[in-house]
């Protein structure tokens, strides 16, 4: 059974992780930054072809409401405000699959360090497949 999340409990700086495909191997990361003047939840994501951009909830869940998990921001209120400031300051940064994808962005916001476990795992899997392929070719 899928876990449900109450988005009303989000705090600025929290990360939403959404599946990019039905299989869920690749995940999309976005940061909640708070509500706009009308009470609508606002997010910032780094999206291929668009870069870092502010989006509303309808746009974020444009492929249907699916969440893999919510990763709450773990710092204090001052650190949370700094994280949201980092999120906003990165708007306009270009997307780069290997060097600055959506996971790099979310980690840069939450931990002040851009990194992507998905990229690392993808490189490792590619190397493993290459080694196995070389082994079978002999």
Single pTM value for the model? 0.83
Q: How far apart are CA 83 and CA 56, in angstroms?
A: 19
Q: Which tokens in the block code for residue 137?
A: 């070719």
The residues with which 27 forms a beta bridge, in sequence order, are 19
Residue with the two structure tokens 């999340």 = 5
- The span from the first CA to the last CA of the chain, in angstroms, equals 46
pLDDT of the residue at 124: 57
- 95-129 pLDDT, tens per residue? 999 899 999 999 999 999 998 876 555 555 555 55
Q: List the beta strands (DSSP E) in 2-137.
A: 15-19, 27-35, 41-47, 51-56, 69-71
pLDDT of the residue at 115: 84
Q: Please tell me which residue, 20 or 127, carries the higher pLDDT value.
A: 20
- Residue from 102, 50, 67, 110 nearest 85 by CA: 110
Residue 39 has pLDDT above 60, yes or no: yes
Q: How far apart are CA 82 and CA 110, in angstroms?
A: 9
pLDDT of the residue at 122: 52
């Amino acid at each position: 059974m899928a876990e449900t999340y109450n988005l009303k409990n989000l705090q600025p700086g929290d990360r939403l992780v959404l599946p990019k495909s039905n299989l869920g191997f690749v995940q999309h990361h976005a940061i909640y930054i708070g509500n706009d003047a009308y009470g609508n939840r606002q997010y910032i994501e780094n999206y291929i072809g668009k870069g870092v951009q502010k989006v509303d909830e309808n746009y974020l869940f444009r492929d249907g409401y699916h969440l893999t998990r919510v990763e709450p921001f773990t710092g204090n209120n001052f650190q949370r405000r700094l994280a949201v400031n980092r999120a906003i300051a990165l708007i306009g940064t270009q997307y780069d699959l290997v060097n600055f994808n959506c996971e790099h962005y979310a980690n840069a916001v939450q931990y002040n360090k851009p990194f992507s476990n998905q990229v690392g795992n993808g490189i490792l899997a590619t190397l493993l497949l290459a080694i196995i392929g070389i082994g079978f070719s002999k």
